[in-house]
Each structure stands twice: as C-alpha cells, then as structure tokens.
Amino acid sequence: MLTWQHVPRLEASQVPAVLRLFHPLWHTAADADLLHADETLARGNFRTWAKITSHAYAALDQRPGTGADRALLDRACSRLGPNP
C-alpha cells in the first residue's frame, strides 16, 4: 500500500450504520453490542474495527452457525491485546 488514508474517529451514533456498510458480518449484530465494543475498545477507530472484523470473521470459521453477537465481539476483541 502506497498511501495512508486518514479516517476521522466515528461518533458513537455512526458506528452501527458504518459497520453494516463496511462488512455484511455486522448486518445482524445488535446496535447495543456494537456500541458496547466501540465504547470499551474501538473508541470510534475504524482501523480497530477492521481488526475486530477480521478476528470475528475468523472466529465464525471455527464456530459455523453462530451469529454476530456480544460473545463473538468479546472473542474478537480479546485477540487485539491491551492496546489495539
């Protein structure tokens, strides 16, 4: 990648809609679950959300048939380490 794109922090009210446009994984996630993950870890950082999405998608490969819920978000977020 030759360029670095600056993406301003998302406002909490933007998070559910932006994530659903970003990846279909989040289409069925509850707003409350997405907002909880954003408040506790991502803090509006889109790059962090891209990492969470990648980890969540990998977790779904290990447990097919599960949905995008708080448990999945918790598993994905735990893979980020202390400073995402």
In a domain, 7, yes or no: no
Supply the pLDDT for residue 9. Answer: 94
Question: The domain containing residue 73 runs over which residues?
Answer: 12-78
Q: What is the pLDDT of residue 42?
A: 94
Task: Indicate the pLDDT class of residue 63, thresholds 50, 70 and 90.
Answer: confident
Assess if residue 47 is contained within a domain. Answer: yes
Assigned domain for 4 exists: no
- Residue 2 resides in a domain: no
- Please check the confidence at residue 11 and state whether its pLDDT lies above 90: yes
The answer to whether residue 62 is domain-embedded is: yes
The structural domain count of the chain equals 1
For 17, residues 6+ apart whose C-beta sits below 8 A from its C-beta are: none
